[in-house]
Amino acid sequence: MFFKKKNDAIIVDPSRLPKHIAIIMDGNGRWAAKRSLPRKAGHKAGAEALERVVTEAKKMGIQHVTVYAFSTENWKRSNDEVAAIMDLLRHYLKDSFQRFLKDDVRMQVIGDVSGLDVDIQEQIKVIVEESKEKQGMTVHIALNYGGRDELRRGIQKIAEKVESGELSSKEISEETIEAYLDTAGVPDPELVIRTSGEERISNFLLWQIAYSEFYFTDVLWPDFGKKDLEKAIYYYQNRERRFGGR
């Protein structure tokens, strides 16, 4: 067997790790409500959980982690909550990302960055540039991200190439489409984790998850830690991936 349980501890097989784990970090609001705290306290605790999980994933040897931090639909929330999340992001770009940098972590952002406040866009540019040579692992933060919007933006760029005569419509292959997604060049996630008991995709990585395995847990994101990450990988390592073959 390729895994073992010792004293009830979950032991993942380091030789069969997913290269890329995508995480829908859900349940911050419910975590706060359980403690009679404002929702923004839940987002703060969620940001701390992210730092913890990135550190653990890196120690384990995971190469890519993509996290859903703010969706194209999350603008529908109250102005107060959106502002609190954006402030947290500003803080995060200064603090946690600086710690990641020291830890050899590369930072990338997916989503329509142009929809964010200009100061945040600037900070993102700096952090992406400063971390581009880092080899330890890559954290992809999905900000103002929607899978449909990503496809729309990609298709628009492809259409421009066709219009200008640089590309013929017959040449459009799956590889062409992939090359125009925000995730161009990144392997598809083998494992998608969603916390908080919800079992839906909520417009995350629609193209890229064609053959991903899914791990759903009732744990709320701010409570998610090393053990939960190990459980998810353990679960993944016990799935039989078929890719349509038999």
Which residue in 18, 27, 111, 154 binds ligand IPE (CB under 6 A)? 27
69 touches ligand IPE (CB under 6 A): yes
Verify binding: residue 84, ligand IPE, rule CB under 6 A.
no
Residue 10 or 70 with smaller CB distance to ligand IPE:
70
d(CA 149, CA 164): 23
| Position 86, amino acid | M
Instruction: Tell me if 192 sits within 8 A of 213, measured CB to CB.
Output: yes
Total residues interacting with Mg ion, rule: CB under 5 A = 1
For the CB of residue 56, give the shortest distance to Mg ion in the complex, in Å.
23
Residue 191: half-sphere exposure toward Cβ, Cα within 13 Å: 26
Catalytic residue among 8, 13, 26, 117: 26
- Assess 26 for contact with Mg ion (CB under 5 A): yes
- The answer to whether residue 121 forms part of the interface with ligand IPE (CB under 6 A) is no
d(CA 82, CA 80): 6
Report the alpha-carbon distance of residue 166 to residue 162 in Å, rounded.
6
Calculate the CA 176 to chain-centre distance: 23
By CB under 6 A, which span of 21-29, 123-131, 133-141, 226-234 interacts with ligand IPE? 21-29
Active site residue 79: no
The 3-class secondary structure across 164-223, one letter per residue, is CCCCCHHHCCHHHHHHCCCCCCCCCCCEEEECCCCCCCCCCCCCCCCCCEEEECCCCHHH
Candidates 51-59, 118-126, 155-163, 193-201; binding stretch for ligand IPE (CB under 6 A)? 193-201
Of the residues 24, 62, 109, 233, which one makes contact with ligand IPE according to CB under 6 A: 24
- Sole window of 25-33, 48-56, 125-133, 229-237 interacting with Mg ion (rule: CB under 5 A): 25-33
Assess 71 for contact with Mg ion (CB under 5 A). no
**Helix (H) or strand (E) run with residue 21 in it:** strand 20-24
72 lines the binding site for ligand IPE (CB under 6 A): no
User: Which region holds residue 138: left if phi is over 0, alpha if psi is between -120 and 50, else beta?
Assistant: beta
The reply to whether 74 belongs to the active site is yes
Residues 196-215 that bind ligand IPE (CB under 6 A): 196, 198, 200, 202
Residue 70 is a binding residue for ligand IPE (CB under 6 A): yes
User: Which of the choices ligand IPE, Mg ion, none does residue 28 contact, using the CB cut-off of 5 to 8 A by kind?
Assistant: ligand IPE
How many other CB atoms are there within 10 angstroms of residue 38's CB atom?
A: 15
Element spanning 48, H or E: helix 39-60
Residues that bind Mg ion in the complex, under the rule CB under 5 A: 26
Residues that bind ligand IPE in the complex, under the rule CB under 6 A: 24-30, 68-71, 74, 85, 196, 198, 200, 202
Give the catalytic positions in this structure: 26, 74
